[in-house]
Structure formats: structure tokens, C-alpha cells
Amino acid sequence: MQIQIRYFASLRESLGAGETLTLDTPLTVGQLRDQLIARGEPHAGALARGRALRAALNQTMCAETAELTLGAEVAFFPPVTGG
């Protein structure tokens, strides 16, 4: 199952704009975050548990319990500060 990962703001600076990933099993957004953390640095630091991060699934804010589907676009980013 292929998914697209995107990073923004400080995460983009440390991890790049994103990547396409092929998953063997269905995952939630939180499980994907854990899998990326398990890669080690720089992902481990940038996505570390305890850091305030938000996620979006198919361009809508989501909880980490949201399930990835085929072709999903998932984004990780810091809390937003517009306006």
C-alpha cells in the first residue's frame, strides 16, 4: 500500500519535504509516526513523542488514531501559528 508523507515548517527543515512509502500492513497515523521514529535520527528527534506535533490525513486535521488508506496523503507539522 503506497502512501505519501509530507512535512512542513520546522519538520520540513529537518526531514525534507516528504516521501512516498510502501506499507506492508495497514497503519494508523500514530503507528506510522512510531515507525518513522524507529528509523533513528533525524526522524527520531523531529517526531519524538512529547513534542507537540499535529497531523493531517488527506488534507484534513486528524487524530493519530486515523487509519491510512491506499494512496493516502499524511502530513506532520508543528502547531500552526497563522494570522
Partner 1 sequence: MSPSSLPSPSPSPRLSSVSIQTEDFDLSAEVAALRSGDAGVGAITTFVGTVRDRHAGQPDAGSISAMELEHYPGMTERSIEAMIDDAFRRFDIRGVRVIHRVGPLQIADQIVLVAVTSMHRGESFQACEFLMDYLKSEAPFWKKETTPEGARWVDARVSDDAALKRWGIVSGNATGA
From residue 56, give the alpha-carbon distance in Å to each of 8, 40, 41, 53.
Answer: 11, 23, 23, 10
Interface region with partner 1, contact rule CB under 8 A, candidates 21-29, 31-39, 40-48, 57-65: 57-65
20 binds partner 1 (CB under 8 A): no
C-alpha pair distances (Å), 64 with each of 30, 47, 58, 68, 75: 4, 13, 13, 10, 11
Asked if 21 interacts with partner 1 (CB under 8 A), we say no
Choice from 6, 25, 67, 68 touching partner 1 (CB under 8 A): 6
Determine if 75 is a binding residue for partner 1 (CB under 8 A). yes
Q: d(Cα 20, Cα 31) in Å, to the nearest integer? A: 16
When asked if residue 3 is in the footprint of partner 1 (CB under 8 A), the reply is: no
Binding site for partner 1 (CB under 8 A): 6, 8-10, 12, 51-54, 56, 59-61, 75, 77-83
